[in-house]
Amino acid sequence: MKYFIIVFLSTFVFSSKGFSQEKNTTHKVEKGETIGQIAQKYKVTPYDIYKLNPDAQTGLKPNSVLFIPKKASAVAVIPAKPNSQVKTHKVEPKETLFGIENKYGVTDEALKKANPDLEKLGLQIGQTLVIPSNTVSKTVTSTPEKVVYHEVLPKETKFSIAKQYGITIEELEKRNPEIIPSLTVGQKLVIKGTAPKVVAAAPQKEMVKPIVPKVNYITYVVKPKETLYSLSKMSGLSQDEFLFLNPALANGVEIGMEIKVSEYAAIPKEAEAKKAYATMTVKSGNNDRKKLVLLLPFNLSKIEGDTINSTATRLKKDKFLNMTLDFYSGALMAIDSAKTIGVPVDVSIFDSQETKNSSNISNINQQQNLESADAIIGPFYQNNVEKTAALVSSKNVAVISPLSKDIGNSFPNLYQTIPSAEVLKRAVFEYMIAKNGNIIAVVDKKKESARQFIQQNYSQVQFAALLENGSLSAESLKGLLVKDKVNYVVLASENTGMIKWTMSTMMSVMAKYNVQLVIMEPNETLDTDEISFENLTKLKLMYPSISRENESTEALIFEKEYRKKNKIAPSTFATRGFDVTFDTLLRLSQGKSYQETAESTATEQVDNKFEYYKKADGGFTNKGIYILYYDTDLTIKVAN
């Protein structure tokens, strides 16, 4: 009998172990692995792993051990009442609670009551949900489908909106035929349901209001131990709304992911990014009026003395005059805006009558005493700007050079607003280094100066080898790529063949490596028809720029007001005229000298940044640079 009991117990223990091993296995987490990858490896769902390992929701740690079920979780079995059927639904990728509830006509409360894990774990791909029976379905069968609206935000496209809600562009246009020609920021679109018919009211006088999007979004980097639940709570959104905004999270939350959150999100203080640029406002109680002078090259005496060409003809031919008038129109907009917000500044505008080597600055100084000004914008040519700075240097009057590049002599009171070519080059390299990228340079033989610049300043950059005929060695470039970093390929060539071969080589390895094409300075060859724009977007061409394409609320208001006054869209020079003048006016209204604000505060206006720093040989230059890239949606974006 004793022998029988021992045999029975040992058989039971063996059977129990065998049963446990049949149901579950274990997995040792390797560095960089995600729940999604592990689930795919064992052919289970992330939800199955989270059920056995609830601590994994806060993030995976290398060398930790996870329990893995042998098979994905089966459909939940619920004791059925007589004559009743239990409905279930298996969650597919990109599905949301909102969509599932609409599909089955159940409330959020009822679905979560039938599936308690939803509150804790959120919606998981592969999860099997129990769909509660709708006891009131007979009485509400005639209730119309709930109408879902979407307000168009800046930079949104039909494709992005349709993708966000899981519908096609055709379906979107069918419900909103008014968008077939184009989208307009602020439009209210019908996504689902039928919008109620609106009875036409008596015509009223149109009230023009500035377009103000309801929400602006910022980039947030996911920190350790953060979950979909905690992130959605931080953002002030439900989990399904948060997934609409960040569909990549449907595959699991990973440390280091860049996601979008509302600018009003309750971001923990330790996670807040330091703001590099400040928004200046008029200092209250400051009644000290400042004096601003603009020296612009209208060259009226030449126009009046031109007996051959009419003013209209001259405007068509004279590009320099058109540039001046555009800058002037933007400056006037800035002066009007400054008056509106109460900037205590008096502005005087004079014709500098300048060419590259001559001007009327000395006469203006004798008649108007430029040394009494607090700041002077202009003239346009570098030689004339330097002359002006010298004339007023004894009083330390700030002279702001609006268009000339930093290539001349320095004066302690001279401020170059356009960054130099070297500052642009350095900015893009500093960006790549900050991103811990693997930097590779492809430099053809005609760009020796580019090679020397890189070798002298950035010793960590590797150079791809060239063949004897001067073309790129594709094998050399491929051999320099690494898998765990972004591979920035800096191209310095204007040769069409070299450019196309470099791009072709990069595209051939995109399946294995993260590669991005970079240029240090403008390259006209990239704008020709021989270079595929689509391929440039695939390689996310990146480059430094002194300006950007801004679609913020303020930029839209500026463009709208400019069109209203000038019957045309603002040119690059018009926008620069506004930015330089408005920035100067705000700096003069701070109750400090222009130099004090330049040394302490960086600013950003419509399209331009102003981040001055003092050079070793005196004077100030601007290093406010944007790093831009071609995105796959065919738009140009600012790199974060």
Distance CA 561, CA 553 (A): 12
**Arithmetic mean of pLDDT, 368-396:** 94
Highest mean pLDDT among 64-73, 174-183, 390-399: 390-399
pLDDT at 587 over 90: yes
CATH code for position 43: 3.10.350.10
Q: State the number of CA atoms in the 13 A half-sphere of 588 facing the CB.
A: 29
> Does some domain include residue 212?
no
Distance CA 66, CA 71 (A): 15
> Does some domain include residue 347?
yes
Mean pLDDT of the chain: 80
Q: Please, what's the b/e burial string for 126-136 (b: 16 or more CB within 10 A of its CB; e: otherwise)?
A: bbbbbbbeeee
> Does some domain include residue 143?
no
**For position 37, what pLDDT does the model report?**
76
**Arithmetic mean of pLDDT, 564-592:** 93
> Could you tell me the pLDDT band of residue 543, with boundaries at 50, 70 and 90?
very high
Q: Per the structure, how many domains does the chain have?
A: 6
**For position 201, what pLDDT does the model report?**
42
pLDDT at 432 over 60: yes
Residue bearing the bigger pLDDT, 362 or 226:
362
Residue bearing the bigger pLDDT, 231 or 57:
231
**For position 11, what pLDDT does the model report?**
38
**Arithmetic mean of pLDDT, 129-136:** 69
- Both tokens of 27, joined, read 């997995």
- Same-domain status, 513 and 411: no
> Could you tell me the pLDDT band of residue 157, with boundaries at 50, 70 and 90?
confident
Residue bearing the bigger pLDDT, 16 or 161:
161
Cα–Cα nearest to 596, from 318, 454, 446, 398: 398
pLDDT at 36 over 90: no
**For position 581, what pLDDT does the model report?**
96
Using DSSP, state whether 558 is helix, strand or coil: helix
Which of 159, 192, 225 finishes a domain?
192
**For position 72, what pLDDT does the model report?**
54
- Same-domain status, 126 and 163: no
Distance CA 70, CA 72 (A): 7
- Same-domain status, 534 and 494: yes
CATH code for position 528: 3.40.1010
> Could you tell me the pLDDT band of residue 573, with boundaries at 50, 70 and 90?
very high
Residue bearing the bigger pLDDT, 281 or 333:
333
Q: What are 245-299's pLDDT values in tens digits?
A: 788 787 777 766 778 777 656 666 444 433 346 677 777 666 788 899 999 999 8
- Same-domain status, 67 and 159: no
Distance CA 437, CA 454 (A): 15
**For position 629, what pLDDT does the model report?**
94
Residue 43 identity:
K
- Same-domain status, 354 and 389: yes
**For position 535, what pLDDT does the model report?**
93
- Choose the weakest-confidence range: 59-63, 75-79, 379-383: 75-79
> Does some domain include residue 404?
yes
- Same-domain status, 303 and 320: yes
- Same-domain status, 457 and 519: yes
Report the relative pairing of strands 188-192 and 148-151 from DSSP bridges.
antiparallel
> Could you tell me the pLDDT band of residue 510, with boundaries at 50, 70 and 90?
very high
Residue 483 identity:
K
Q: What are 465-491's pLDDT values in tens digits?
A: 999 888 999 999 999 999 989 999 999
- Same-domain status, 365 and 462: no
Q: What percent of the chain has pLDDT over 70?
A: 80
- Same-domain status, 492 and 343: no
Q: φ and ψ at 183, to 5 degrees?
A: -90, 150
CA dist list (Å): 575 to 137, 261, 389: 59, 30, 25
CATH code for position 371: 3.40.50.2300
Which of 501, 528, 545 finishes a domain?
545
- Choose the weakest-confidence range: 140-149, 158-167, 173-182, 434-443: 140-149
- Same-domain status, 338 and 395: yes
**For position 1, what pLDDT does the model report?**
40
**Arithmetic mean of pLDDT, 402-428:** 88
**Arithmetic mean of pLDDT, 503-524:** 94
Q: What are 212-221's pLDDT values in tens digits?
A: 334 556 777 7
> Does some domain include residue 106?
yes
- Same-domain status, 311 and 426: no
Q: What percent of the chain has pLDDT over 90?
A: 39
Q: Can you spell out the DSSP letters for 27-72? A: EEPPTT--HHHHHHHHT--HHHHHHH-GGGGG---TT-EEEEESSP
- Same-domain status, 298 and 415: yes
> Does some domain include residue 305?
yes
H or E element in which residue 560 lies: helix 553-566
H or E element in which residue 110 lies: helix 108-114
Alpha helices in 341-466 (DSSP H): 361-368, 382-391, 421-434, 448-457
Neighbours of 290 (CB within 10 A): 22
> Does some domain include residue 585?
yes
- List, in order, residues 6 or more apart from 260 with CB less than 8 Å away: 217, 218, 219, 220, 245, 246
- Choose the weakest-confidence range: 199-208, 444-453, 520-529: 199-208
pLDDT at 208 over 70: no
| Structural domain range at position 172 | 148-192
pLDDT at 397 over 80: yes
> Does some domain include residue 16?
no
